[in-house]
Structure 1
Amino acid sequence: MSGTRFLLVAALGGLSFPMVKLALEGLSPAQLVFGRLLLGAVVLLALAGLRRTALPRSGRVWGHLVVAAALGNVLPFMLLSYGERTTDAGLAGVLVGSTPLLTLALVTLARVEPATRRKAIGLVIGFLGLTVVINPWDTVFGSVAGQLACLGAALCYAAYFSYVRRYLWPLGLAPVALIAGQLCVAAVLQAPVALVLGGAAPSLTGRVAIGVVCLGLLCTGLGYVQLFRLIGEVGATTASACNYLEPVFAAVISTVLFGEAITWTMLAGGLVLLAGVAYAEGRIRVPGEPR
């Protein structure tokens, strides 16, 4: 079941990048994030109601949910929405694919998992691949700024994986209840941001509506419940590895929908990045290396 859940989370994560691209055709980043969070919260509240699952009652749990909402929803969603204004959806997917590397670093610093020589080497290899993907020597400042925003989102996701594993999963509460609470908090946090930074009135075309609905119902509502369960089943670092496949889904879907080009830097850098992560997790071994 974990393998199927892993693929589902990766597919929904990859789908989110081109859907953000669609939604930004008629919404500002702040409006898009609020709409996505609100739809996701409604879906999860309805699901919790159907299952007769009560929301958390402890103030301490809601405090953790505020942090989780900021790290897992509000901050990365805003960063990605702004980043994708000047970055192709496929490239944004590759950049967020650095989440496993960042997660490895964070869980090591937080002593959730021990540091090893293999992990350190894998992180360095991954960083080199990430540099090739960003390709800063062949872009203008605006593009680099958009790519850095996507990297900031990856860092938020890495912190979210670590935080959920350490503070929320051990509580033993129903994932539907926790994610419903998290998305409700995130929507409340995002509401004033949408009012202040909303910009022009929304232009809700069919394409924009499709993008927002897919983001809210699938990528956010369904995706975060499955992600939370995956973190509990296999751990923060392994769960974050779903980002290995997200660039693949994002690039393929973006190519089909928008005709975006897949450049050699994306392919070469992405392969090096993934190879670094695979080595860090022991999935690649060099000849003569002990098991």
Structure 2
Amino acid sequence: MSAASLSRLLLLSAIWGGSFLFMRIGAPVLGPVMLIVFRVGLAALFLLAVALFLKKSMALKAHWKHYLVLGLFNSALPFLLFAYAAQTLSASLLSILNATAPIWGAIIGALWTRTLLSGKAVMGLLSGVVGVMLLVGFDRLSLLPGADIAIVAALGASFCYGITSVYTRSIPSIGPFANAHGSMWAATLIILPLVPFFPVNQAPSGGVVLSVVALGVLCSGIAYLLYFRLIADIGSTSALTVTFLVPLFGVLFGTLFLDEVVGWYTLVGAFLVIVGTALVTGFSPRVLFREKTNKAP
């Protein structure tokens, strides 16, 4: 991996790790629905500006149904569930629970294709389960009212990403930028009708407004562009490394900016979840040191 690609990988991991910090700041004030409608709406507008500048088309007439499915399971539903959970859980815990997405994907894929998981994948699944049990069993926030529902919501968000990973394998290649652009508009249209039923909890401060803008433009719009560039440069397997790095930044930012407590259970639980994800996906760090021989389509 070149120094430029490594820099992009670390930057993307930091941005997506920061998304849980911004949700933790914005969700208690704006509520999940208002926070996420701004997130996907700003991302859609940003990607529209990029599409106009680069003269990229979504082929909306041909793929609008696909964008709706992708917008629901890859953006609208998981974003809402994470934002709901962010009203109670820490940014650190949210970022670690997010790393279970590939595990859910492996389980859903096995059920969909009616195939048995390999021994290594089963070990990864068990490692992930033990890691989550440690996290939710010892974290003091899990004792707060509604925390159990928030944990289920966060895991449900990761489950949605697992659905998306299986779904995208069964469709023709449309192009990563078009997928991102189309799905953000679809997510906006899906969430927008909910806004009148979920008013803002309180007037947002300047910090909350900045968090919303960062979520939309930085953590969704710019992050997608970085991710697509990584896939093109180093391949999807190496780009998967971002899954393992996001919790590190999520925990770091939660500790630095929100004074979240990092106990032994946080570190051990995160380690078990990341190891479980690596086993389930068959990921090996050695792929980072291999040159990519073919460009991604």
Into which bin does the TM-score normalised by the smaller protein fall?
Answer: 0.7 to 0.9
CA distance in 2, matches of 1:7, 1:40: 21
Of the three residues 40, 45, 49, the one matched with 2:43 is: 40
Deviation at 1:279, TM superposition (A): 3.5
CA shift digits 1:217-244 (9 cap, x unpaired) = 0111122344456668745x77555222
In structure 1, the gaps of 5 or more residues are 285-291
1:12 corresponds in structure 2 to 15
User: Which moves more between the two structures, 189-198 or 41-50?
Assistant: 189-198
CA shift digits 1:153-176 (9 cap, x unpaired) = 1111122223234325x23x3x33
1:75 corresponds in structure 2 to 77
CA contact (8 A) 1:44 1:221 kept: yes
Deviation at 1:147, TM superposition (A): 1.4
Amino acid across the alignment from 2:68: V
Of the three residues 82, 96, 102, the one matched with 2:104 is: 102
- What is the total number of aligned residue pairs between the two structures? 278
CA distance in 1, matches of 2:160, 2:126: 20
Deviation at 1:215, TM superposition (A): 0.2
Q: Normalising to structure 1: TM-score of the pair?
A: 0.85
CA contact (8 A) 2:96 2:273 kept: no
User: Which moves more between the two structures, 260-269 or 100-109?
Assistant: 100-109
User: Which moves more between the two structures, 36-45 or 111-120?
Assistant: 111-120
User: Which moves more between the two structures, 105-114 or 41-50?
Assistant: 105-114
Establish whether residue 156 from structure 1 lines up as the match of residue 157 from structure 2: no
CA contact (8 A) 2:92 2:251 kept: yes
Deviation at 1:10, TM superposition (A): 2.3
CA shift digits 1:73-118 (9 cap, x unpaired) = 1111111111011101111111111112212223333349984221
CA distance in 1, matches of 2:242, 2:112: 21
Deviation at 1:5, TM superposition (A): 4.8
1:257 corresponds in structure 2 to 257
CA contact (8 A) 2:28 2:86 kept: no
1:120 corresponds in structure 2 to 122
SS of match in other structure, 1:261: coil
Amino acid across the alignment from 1:254: G
In structure 2, the gaps of 5 or more residues are 286-297
Deviation at 1:137, TM superposition (A): 9.2
Establish whether residue 133 from structure 1 lines up as the match of residue 154 from structure 2: no
What RMSD in Å do the two structures reach over aligned CA positions? 2.7
After superposition, residues 126-205 of structure 1 pair within 5 angstroms as 126-135=128-137, 139-140=142-143, 142-167=146-171, 170-171=173-174, 173=175, 175-200=176-201, 203-205=203-205
